[in-house]
Homo-oligomer: A and B are copies of this chain.
Amino acid sequence: MTAERNPEHTRQVILEAAFNEVLQNGFQATSLDSILSKTGLTKGALYHHFPNKTALGYAIVDELVFEQVASSWVRPLNNCENPIDCILGIMRGHMEKVTPEEMAVGCPLNNLTQEMSSIDEGFRTRLNKIYTKWREALADALKKGQQNGLVNSDIDAGQAAAFIVASIAGCAGTAKSTQCKKTFADATEGLMEYLGSLRL
């Protein structure tokens, strides 16, 4: 009676353990055994739910990374009044509650992109899709802000969106390499000042 079979839950357990291991060690350096050791499950369970290691990696991107970026960065933009205040709020929130451990392991999206996008086209397209959706949502929000007289109409919304997304990724990368909150805060505040300069 204690058994409690729950395939969907099992799949999710494997997926999240894989996500954490990959976040810490990178995809290629993560062994399936190290993932499974965190779950108490075995290879049989893993290969029942995923055809191979690559598919497991794709699922991490398609489900966990995608959802994380969407909920943190994309969806807040869709129904907000002032896009600049919205991004500033998200960034401030991240800055305040980020732990040294999180700074060290870095951003899941950025990590996987740098590691995998040049050696596996499947990873690259999936990760690029996430970035593209993010950029589009940001560009749309900026355009709406321009129409509402909240954002300077002189700027190219698409161009600014590309720059902002790139800079956020760059700030996360800076945090990872320095592990120094001051430098991370410097870079982030530089970005915040740029965002402020976009106001009308």
Contacts and interface: CB of A to CB of B under 8 A. Distances in A.
Contact of A176 (B25, B29, B117): B117
Q: How large is the interface on A (under 10, 10 to 19, 20 to 34, 35 or more residues)?
A: 35 or more
Contacts of A191: 163, 166-167
Total copies of the chain: 2
Contact of A28 (B26, B170, B188): B26
A104 interface: yes
Interface string A71-101: 0000000000000000000000000000000
Interface in A39-89: none
A111 B128 CA distance: 17
Given A118-B176, A170-B171, 20 more contacts: A26-B26, A104-B117, A105-B118, A117-B176, A131-B174, A155-B193, A158-B186, A162-B187, A162-B190, A163-B167, A163-B186, A163-B190, A163-B194, A165-B170, A166-B173, A167-B167, A167-B170, A168-B170, A173-B173, A197-B197
21 contacts: A24-B118, A25-B119, A111-B114, A113-B173, A114-B173, A115-B115, A117-B177, A124-B179, A127-B177, A131-B177, A158-B186, A159-B186, A159-B190, A163-B190, A165-B170, A165-B187, A166-B167, A167-B170, A170-B171, A194-B194, A194-B197
Interface of A: 24-26, 28-29, 104-106, 110-111, 113-115, 117-119, 124, 127-128, 131-132, 135, 155-156, 158-171, 173-174, 176-179, 183, 186-191, 193-194, 197
